[in-house]
Amino acid sequence: LQDMGSIHLEGIEVMARIGLLEEELLAPQDLFVTVDLEYDFEMVRNTDELSHGIDYREVIAFVKKFATAYDGKMLERFAQVLAESLKDAFPVSKVSLCVDKPRYTGKLGLRKIRVQVEL
């Protein structure tokens, strides 16, 4: 029986070149990424050793590096490829993430623009 749990990292601020408009592609823009990683806590719970768990700092650094290198148009693709990359890079059974794009919320009369994916 697995001892499943999850790590929730909310609002990782990153800069990425993403969008359809020329102004979006000229300069990186702020995105906020929230990540939930589900995995078996048994080893880390029993040993209290980081080597048996997931280091939050490594996840945050991974997300930031991914965003900096990303060059694309659609937020949906950004979210999907990031989720796939996280699942490949860390020993997790499930990845859920949200990406918030605040740049155009005011212009569109919205409080939030968010894409969510789950793998």
Beta bridge mates, 109: none
**pLDDT tops 80 at residue 1:** no
Name every residue whose Cβ is closer than 8 Å to that of residue 82 and which is 6 or more positions away in sequence: 33, 63, 66, 67, 70, 97, 99
Sheet strands side by side (includes 94-100): 71-72, 4-18, 29-40, 94-100, 114-118
Least Cα distance to 32 among 96, 114, 109, 117 occurs for 114
pLDDT digits (tens, 9 = 90+) for 13-43: 999 999 888 877 788 899 999 999 999 989 8
Report DSSP letters for 57-69, one per residue.
Answer: HHHHHHHHHHHHH
**pLDDT tops 80 at residue 101:** yes
pLDDT digits (tens, 9 = 90+) for 47-57: 999 999 999 99
- Look up the pTM and report it: 0.92
pLDDT > 70: percent of the chain = 99
- How high is the pLDDT of residue 14? 98
